Amino acid sequence: MSGRGQANTRRRQSQGTCWLKLRSVFFDIDEVADHSFGLPHMMPTTEEFTRHMKALQLHKNDLIVCFDHIGIFSSPRAWYTLETFGCPNVKVLNGGLEAWKKANMPVAPGDLKQFPENSGSFDFVRKDSNILSMSQVNALIPKLRSKDVSHYVLDARGAERFSGKVAEPRKGLRSGCIEGSINVPFYDLLTEDSVRMKTVPELKQLFKDKGIDYSKPITASCGSGLTACIILLALRRVGATNLSLYDGSWTEYVTYFLTPRAHILNLSSNQFTFTFPIPSCPIQIMPRSMGFWGFLLYTSEAADELLCVDLGGR
């Protein structure tokens, strides 16, 4: 969800309090996404993002306050998405709707649509440096493996998921972590009731205890790119600026990089189309004229070798 301050609303100063009319709309991170990857809530294209923002009547320079109903969970993902597309005035309500209600602040059911549409810019440009791809993360592994601290990858999943002691909640995914990454469970960044984010001094101490120099580039990961944004928000609060999100996170990494895949093709002609799950991996197609009726394609766990095996002969 996000609350948007209206551009032409009336403001009233009374006993040191500033009153501002707000319009609350539902920002669906699963809808405002790129669905072409087959992965949940991937960062949308500029065109897709703009289409949703126009539908929500959220303009680039609006004051946007993101919150969710359970405290701090999905709202940082909305915040990071909006910032990635150049929205300069995005905040996260610490404590979310739960804290808002406990403070006896006014609430209303559903989207509040009584405010008229306002003029504003929809000139959004995606900052691609905010997002790291699987190949970019893979390129960091030699540094991470050697404990080179020029770039960190932080994983927001729980300690047992990170260590591979428990199964991933998504069926069929292998357990474990990106080699050389550091575990920073997102709930460690929150208060005991998981409603609010910890104070800046507490966050600074936590990162110090983890041996993280947040003046260096940091990439956050998790299961699917959601709770990683809690790490990014915490880092922003302590002054970190060189931040990025591994959008596909462990779901993409283990599905397309670590999981061996085999495909058997029965070639009926010399003309066919084949899409391989790892675009960066070269494919050598053996033509039918060489006498093969089919072949097996297999990627190693390191995804750095491709084998072509004769299945039939002449």
Catalytic residues: 222
- Sequence-distant (≥ 6) Cβ neighbours of residue 245 within 8 angstroms: 43, 80, 130, 131, 132, 219, 220, 221, 225, 228, 229, 232
| Consecutive H or E run containing 135 | helix 134-145
Check residue 116 and report its DSSP letter: P
Helix (H) or strand (E) holding 246: strand 243-246
**In angstroms, what CA-CA distances link 117 with 6, 59, 143?**
9, 10, 50
Measured CA to CA in angstroms, residue 261 lies from 135, 139, 221 at distances of: 18, 21, 24
Structure tokens at 164: 């591979």
- 297: three-class secondary structure by DSSP: strand
- Concatenate the DSSP letters of all residues of 1-60 into one string: -EEEE-TT---EEETTEEE--EEEE---TTTSS-GGGSSTTPPPPHHHHHHHHHHHT--T
Axis crossing angle, helix 228-237 with helix 75-84, rounded to the nearest 10: 70
Asked if 30 contacts 37 with a C-beta cutoff of 8 angstroms, the reply is: no
The strand pair at 131-132 and 243-246 is best described as: parallel
Backbone CA torsion sign across 84, 87, 88, 93: negative
